[in-house]
Chains A and B, each alone.
Chain A
């Protein structure tokens, strides 16, 4: 056997364990779920009914649209707020900015369950805010519980710090002299932002958005504790199908639907990352 061929075999042999693990733990369940999702529960024959169920039953279709609504609003708000916060942290050198820079990641260290319960005790209609109002003779009822707005507020709590971290890293990589050179040739603050900062950080913003989107499509803890009965986030709907109705074929179909929803952002993420912009080569 030639030396090159031997080297090839060794190379494949070294990759094999990792390859097998990935196939076994990732590829196999995915393929299995996909097959399951096209099978009739009783006869085991090929069918599209499992998918049709989610797109034709009004309540199930509402769940999908509701999830998309909550997720997209979360992404939009989280990214806008995180971008503003990251800009503030990058360009403000005050002591307050320094403190915020040190503290803004703290929410990430609070376990999700604790954070959600803490939020509930504050925002529910008999919560802290209501009692503060009561002290002044007011009766503030926020109506955030069991409502999309409550979920979004909670999602922002989790996602703003994370998105800020990603965007701040991108902004931190823009050297001061690039901005100073722009001001030097006559660009005011807004023009510097439009012509320099935005194009140089847009990639990080898009990537942060895909991450926030993906992590929220399948979210469970927050909607489980704070969400209403109908419509439901897809994470809860899947939980119901799997744990309550024990309908594994529909569960598989819903899993594939959620996977495809996530895949949209995966495509955006990969495209953004792979796009070989000439100036970055």
Chain B
């Protein structure tokens, strides 16, 4: 991904945003390339929304700079920035029809009405909601409202589309569908997207690169596979996907459930006792007690058939990571 000739769309240079109570983010350095979906991922309070809102102009930054196409936008109010933001909820203006919602920003830009009408028709097609111009937001479902919100942002042809947990208020099935649609729209238009979420599955599914945040600093930046396969530290390892941590001597071994095998013969040195066996379709999730810790392993049916609760097994650690013990 770090091919040098790729054009940097958004550059965040040693940015800091500190709140009066001392919370906030600092030393944020990030390059986002043209046509890329980058997700800011982390638990609530990690600073991901703060960064997004700083890009959109809704927070003044306390240090550093934000540049789009090499030009600083840090001093501009939101209405002057070439960014468009989709919020978590209450995006649409309730007293305006969908047509009015979509056309408002275009009218401010003095675009002729015929052009506006045509653009709106096209964009509604793109988000698969043709013919809803005369409806009011409250006559649409949550998922439909977010589609219109995305459409409204796209209409303004922003340099950068910012999405602040736009799907978190939707139910699981719609959420998945919306992700796919967003990804398709993004690749069709080649637009650059910064997406904020606390849902690691959403981040994995959607992003070209993920920025994992922890307590106001960047913990790791990488492609979903890089982050899953090579977590930089214990925090990232625990946050992305499922991970077992086994303390051996002064080291912590981190191993994913699919890389932890169980030997029913218990021939190995690392002994454990089977706690639960759960069949989850084509694989089986087995939890075992090893000392004080409970470990999770995904095994085949043929292995699990030879196990029952209370059995002694030994652990075989496959691909794993080693971190210093905390």
Contact A177 B91, beta carbon cutoff 8 Å: yes
**List of A residues within 8 angstroms of B156 by Cβ:** 185-186
Question: Could you tell me the distance in whole angstroms from the C-beta of A172 to the nearest C-beta in chain B?
Answer: 14
Pairs across A and B, CB under 8 Å, 23 listed: A175-B89, A177-B90, A178-B93, A180-B56, A181-B91, A181-B93, A183-B77, A183-B78, A184-B79, A184-B83, A184-B85, A185-B79, A185-B104, A185-B108, A186-B80, A186-B156, A187-B108, A191-B108, A277-B95, A278-B136, A279-B138, A281-B136, A281-B139
Q: Given that A183-B77, A187-B79 are known contacts, is A175 also in contact with B90, CB under 8 Å in the complex?
A: yes
Q: Given that A180-B78, A188-B79, A200-B95 are known contacts, is A279 also in contact with B88, CB under 8 Å in the complex?
A: no
A175 to B94, alpha carbons, bound, how many Å?
Answer: 11
Residue of B nearest to A175 (CB): B90
Question: Could you tell me the distance in whole angstroms from the C-beta of A252 to the nearest C-beta in chain B?
Answer: 45
Contact A180 B85, beta carbon cutoff 8 Å: yes
Q: Given that A177-B87, A185-B156 are known contacts, is A196 also in contact with B78, CB under 8 Å in the complex?
A: no
Q: Type the 1/0 row for A165-206, where 1 means its CB is closer than 8 Å to any CB of B.
A: 000000000010110111111111001000110011000000
Question: Could you tell me the distance in whole angstroms from the C-beta of B149 to the nearest C-beta in chain A?
Answer: 8
A277 to B94, alpha carbons, bound, how many Å?
Answer: 11
Residues of A within 8 A of B (CB): 175, 177-178, 180-188, 191, 195-196, 199-200, 277-281
Contact A178 B137, beta carbon cutoff 8 Å: no
Contact A186 B89, beta carbon cutoff 8 Å: no
A118 to B105, alpha carbons, bound, how many Å?
Answer: 52
With most chain B CB atoms within 10 A of its CB, the pick from A177, A182, A187 is A177
Size bracket, chain B contacts: 20 to 34
Q: Type the 1/0 row for B83-114, where 1 means its CB is closer than 8 Å to any CB of A.
A: 11101111111111000000011001100000
Contact B90 A185, beta carbon cutoff 8 Å: no
Residue B235 at the chain A interface, CB threshold 8 Å: no
Residue of A nearest to B138 (CB): A279
**List of A residues within 8 angstroms of B198 by Cβ:** none
With most chain A CB atoms within 10 A of its CB, the pick from B79, B91, B109, B149 is B79
Contact A183 B87, beta carbon cutoff 8 Å: no
Question: Could you tell me the distance in whole angstroms from the C-beta of B100 to the nearest C-beta in chain A?
Answer: 9
Question: Could you tell me the distance in whole angstroms from the C-beta of B159 to the nearest C-beta in chain A?
Answer: 13
A184 to B57, alpha carbons, bound, how many Å?
Answer: 8
Which 9 residue pairs of A and B lie closest in terms of their CB atoms, listed nearest first? A185-B105, A175-B90, A177-B87, A279-B136, A183-B78, A186-B108, A177-B90, A186-B79, A184-B85
Contact A180 B87, beta carbon cutoff 8 Å: yes
A181 to B156, alpha carbons, bound, how many Å?
Answer: 12
**List of A residues within 8 angstroms of B78 by Cβ:** 180, 183-184
Residue of B nearest to A192 (CB): B79
Contact A279 B87, beta carbon cutoff 8 Å: no
Question: Could you tell me the distance in whole angstroms from the C-beta of A239 to the nearest C-beta in chain B?
Answer: 45
**List of A residues within 8 angstroms of B136 by Cβ:** 278-279, 281
**List of A residues within 8 angstroms of B108 by Cβ:** 185-187, 191
Find A279's partner among B57, B91, B94, B109 (CB 8 Å cutoff).
B94
A184 to B55, alpha carbons, bound, how many Å?
Answer: 11
A187 to B105, alpha carbons, bound, how many Å?
Answer: 8
**List of B residues within 8 angstroms of A183 by Cβ:** 57-58, 77-79
Question: Could you tell me the distance in whole angstroms from the C-beta of A257 to the nearest C-beta in chain B?
Answer: 38
Contact A184 B84, beta carbon cutoff 8 Å: yes
Question: Could you tell me the distance in whole angstroms from the C-beta of A119 to the nearest C-beta in chain B?
Answer: 39
**List of A residues within 8 angstroms of B48 by Cβ:** none
Find A186's partner among B56, B58, B105, B138 (CB 8 Å cutoff).
B105
A125 to B77, alpha carbons, bound, how many Å?
Answer: 51
Contact A280 B138, beta carbon cutoff 8 Å: yes
8 more contacts with CB within 8 A, not counting A178-B91, A185-B156, are A177-B88, A181-B91, A181-B93, A183-B78, A185-B153, A186-B80, A186-B105, A199-B95
Find A177's partner among B89, B105, B139 (CB 8 Å cutoff).
B89
**List of A residues within 8 angstroms of B138 by Cβ:** 279-281
Contact B95 A279, beta carbon cutoff 8 Å: yes
Question: Could you tell me the distance in whole angstroms from the C-beta of B300 to the nearest C-beta in chain A?
Answer: 48
Residue B152 at the chain A interface, CB threshold 8 Å: yes
A196 to B90, alpha carbons, bound, how many Å?
Answer: 13
**List of B residues within 8 angstroms of A200 by Cβ:** 94-95
Q: Type the 1/0 row for B56-80, where 1 means its CB is closer than 8 Å to any CB of A.
A: 1110000000000000000001111
Residue of A nearest to B85 (CB): A184
**List of A residues within 8 angstroms of B139 by Cβ:** 281
Question: Could you tell me the distance in whole angstroms from the C-beta of A11 to the nearest C-beta in chain B?
Answer: 33
A277 to B79, alpha carbons, bound, how many Å?
Answer: 29
A188 to B156, alpha carbons, bound, how many Å?
Answer: 16
Find B152's partner among A185, A188, A199 (CB 8 Å cutoff).
A185
Residue of B nearest to A279 (CB): B136
Contact A279 B79, beta carbon cutoff 8 Å: no
Residue of A nearest to B90 (CB): A175
Question: Could you tell me the distance in whole angstroms from the C-beta of A228 to the nearest C-beta in chain B?
Answer: 45
Residue of B nearest to A188 (CB): B79
**List of B residues within 8 angstroms of A199 by Cβ:** 95
Residue of B nearest to A202 (CB): B95
